[in-house]
Chain A
Amino acid sequence: MFIKSIKLNNFQCYYGKSHEVNFTKGLNIVTGSIASGKSKLFDAFYWVLNDKIYVTGKDWLPTKSLGITLINDKAKFESKSIDDLIETSVELVVISGNGPKTQPTEYTITRQLLITRKSMDDCFIDSTWSIANSTLSVESIDPKNFNLDKVYGIDAREKIEKLFPSKISPYIWFQGEALDKLIDFDNKGTLRKAIDYISYVPLYRSMNSIMTLVDNKISKTKRIEISKISGDAKLYNELSRLIEEKTDTIRNNKSFIEEKTKTLDAQKEKMEIIQKELSALAEFPKLNEEKIETENDISNINDDLERLDIHERKKFSSLWMLLGTKELLEKAEGKLFDFEEFRQLLIYKEYDLPEDVPGPVYLDKMLEQELCLICNRPAKKDSDEYKYIESRKNRKVKPEYLTPENEKIYSEVSSYKSRLRRILKSLAFVKDEIIEHRNNFEEKHNELSIYREKLVQIEDDIDTLYTKKGIDISDGAATHRNKDGEYQLLNITINNLNRKIEGAKASIRDAEMDIASNEKKSEKIQRTNTKTKIIEEEISKYTEYLVKQISEIEKSEYDNLIDQIESSANISFEDITSVNKTIDGNIKIDRNSFRVLNVDDSGRELKNYNTGHYTLMKMCIINAIISLTNDYKNTAYPFITDAPTSNLDEKATFAYLESISKTFDQSIVITKDISEDEIESIKNQNYIKGLFQLKIKNDTGNDKMNRTEAYSTITSLK
């Protein structure tokens, strides 16, 4: 297969319809300086086949996510009225089937995108335009009867899948600067898919199936024939019946394994896709959780602050006022002390009586005799005299003015004293409490600003993620959650399938042992006629032998292929690295992890290689895969790459170009790594069959290239 031409119409920086490149077989180089339209040309190849392009920093974006960016700016700018229609299209002409047994067929693959102006607002914004879905068609002429066949949509997609199978297309088309992103060799499935596509495992499986069918049938006939001349036909037939039964068991289990293996492979493929999706979405749940947590933290801090604020307003306003009364309260306390002192003074004064005043015993005696013993006058009970004597008796314990009313007042006053003490004691802590509260408030505010900054950072990260992936954070997190659920479910399904397959394998082993044992017993049974030749006995020797050999070849096919990829990759690697002595070692593919390693002659991994070195190793593997695909499938795929040599030095760049010119029937390399000075000299290189130069120009004569005037041009130099 080879690419005959590509035609671009208003596609990105290519204005108008005048951009057609006719490629040749062999190595085609498209060169151009920065921003001359190289990557856009690569995008055109990819877009026409896949309806998406690779956007650096954003991943693969389908047409509908790209809006009007696919349409040339100058064309949009020149639109002057509503309902203006702009057509963007890419047409790729591919010639396929030029093998020894097939006639070449020319396929014209066209993808078209139409936009219609709906307002006279800024022509560079999406909302100014109605954007239709892109349409795809594949047109071909049958070389036998010259009938025209034109298909659209899904049918066209199927045709493209046949021309460029998706298992191999990442290797046919690759963008050097995004090599790690596009072909991730660290993902086991990447290399395995390519090997699956190249390998002859399905053919060996088919060979094995046919040979086994024949072997079973021949063996059955053989046993029928032997039983006819068997000395113990009954036993022989019984053993044959058991062998047949076990043969059926093996056949059934084999088809069970085959069926389940297909399901298992499909589930594993699904799992790999989900794993990839999960890793692409990994940032969403992380950022989403961080966002929710931080928002919760901020909300809690705000609650704390509100609580502190209410507390301050309620409590501290009263406390401040109370603090203002401190002086008055202290004065009041002083007055109470004065009052107490005065009262004590009065009590002491009461005690301070003259010497001749009779004591309580003497007074009791007077009351008992109802007679004043000082003046000898009678003092009858309840008389004024009696009461006077009685009052004299109580005067020291209860001074006269300490009446119950007075004492009640005193008790009240005393309680005020203790209350005042308590209040004053509390007032001593009010200031501390206010300072502590202020500190808490400040601390919470600081905490709040830290969390707010954190939230801003998280929201920035979320915005970056949205720009990168085009998915909203909550949608991304929800998708991740769903995908994770799917992943867990698939894991269970895969484990169950593996268990079932292992069980079937064990049944096969048991049945094989039973067959071997019964065959031994059958062989021991004497024949009545040893001269009769049974042809099936002879044939089964061949069928048994070939079944065994082909089964073993099928099992080792994978390892053989990896060996071949390694060998072929090392041929290119040796070619390219021979011009650069700083790069050494060999390429090795780890059989378990499928990682691409650089090893010394004894197989030890070399650790000192850099990015350019690693990229080169990967490119050599890619070359090997396409080269092997071409050989194995008898189909020569063209190799199309943008910026493959961006990590290589000048010598390695040319060595790489020469190497791929030998490997592929057709290759198209888009590169900036050939300077204007070098163009003349490389034109004369035999290994370069086609040379094209991209330049950016405008029709206004302005030195400054404005997006509304400038466009890319393609010139054929060889």
Chain B
Amino acid sequence: MKISKKTKFNLKMIKKTINDRLYDSILSKTNNFNDTKLDKKTLEEISKKLIDLVVEIDASSTQDSKAANTLENYLYTKVK
């Protein structure tokens, strides 16, 4: 339950952005994408793109549908 002093030091020192935290949560959930046979690099790139779009929406009130179009185009360029 208790976090060691060393871990605490790390927690304090590493200031993460919202993007980092969202990405970390995906990595943590998927065990660094080791739970699938899909291409890891592609998954990383799609996830990061998706997170960028979401954070942008959050800050600028852009519509989800507009972001979906951007992501769709991005997917066509990334997945071969």
A residues whose Cβ falls under 8 Å from a Cβ of B = 100, 200, 202-204, 206-207, 209-211, 213-214, 217-218, 535, 538-539, 541-543, 545-546, 549-550, 552-553, 556-557, 560, 566-567, 570-571, 574, 586, 601, 631-634, 662
Contacts and interface: CB of A to CB of B under 8 A. Distances in A.
Given A570-B2, A586-B2, 8 more contacts: A203-B18, A203-B58, A206-B58, A213-B68, A542-B43, A545-B36, A631-B21, A662-B12
A322 B8 CA distance: 101
A552 B29 CA distance: 8
B18 A632 contact: yes
B76 to A, nearest CB: 7
Interface in B1-51: 1-3, 8, 12, 15-18, 21-22, 25-26, 29-30, 36, 38, 42-43, 46-47, 50-51
A662 B1 CA distance: 20
B64 A546 contact: no
B17 A634 contact: yes
Interface string B67-80: 11001100110011
15 contacts: A200-B25, A203-B18, A213-B68, A217-B72, A535-B80, A539-B75, A542-B38, A542-B46, A545-B36, A546-B46, A549-B26, A557-B25, A571-B8, A586-B1, A633-B18
Nearest to B1: A586
Given A210-B50, A213-B68, A586-B1, A200 B75 contact: no
B60 interface: no
B47 A203 contact: no
A608 B46 CA distance: 52
Nearest to B59: A101
A213 B69 CA distance: 9
B64 A206 contact: yes
A535 B76 contact: yes
A210 B58 contact: no
Interface residues of B, number: 38
A558 to B, nearest CB: 13
A200 B22 contact: yes
A560 B15 CA distance: 19
Tell me if A's interface is mostly helix, strand, loop or mixed. Answer: helix
B53 to A, nearest CB: 6
Contacts of A632: 18, 21
B47 to A, nearest CB: 7
A560 B29 CA distance: 11
Contacts of B42: 542
Contacts of A574: 2
B72 A218 contact: yes
Contacts of B46: 542, 546
- A-B pairs, top 9 by smallest CB distance, nearest first, are A213-B68, A539-B79, A209-B64, A206-B54, A210-B68, A539-B75, A207-B54, A210-B67, A214-B72
Contacts of B67: 210
Nearest to B17: A634
Given A209-B64, A539-B79, A546-B50, A601 B1 contact: yes
Contacts of B64: 206, 209-210, 213
A545 B47 CA distance: 11
Contacts of B2: 570-571, 574, 586
B55 A210 contact: no
Given A541-B38, A542-B38, A574-B2, A200 B79 contact: no
A586 B15 CA distance: 26
Contacts of B12: 662
Interface centre among B47, B51, B53, B68 (most CB of A within 10 A): B68
A544 to B, nearest CB: 10
A557 B28 CA distance: 12
B68 A549 contact: no
B54 A545 contact: no
Nearest to B35: A549
Contact of A570 (B3, B65, B76, B79): B3
Given A549-B26, A549-B30, A574-B2, A206 B43 contact: no
A632 B21 CA distance: 8
B65 to A, nearest CB: 6
Nearest to A212: B68
A560 B30 CA distance: 15
Contacts of A631: 15-16, 21
B8 A214 contact: no
A21 B54 CA distance: 41
B11 to A, nearest CB: 8
B3 to A, nearest CB: 5
A193 to B, nearest CB: 19
A206 B16 CA distance: 20
A567 B65 CA distance: 38
B48 to A, nearest CB: 12
A634 B50 contact: no
Nearest to A202: B58
B25 A553 contact: yes
A209 B67 CA distance: 10
A650 to B, nearest CB: 24
A553 B71 contact: no
Nearest to A533: B80
Contacts of B53: 210
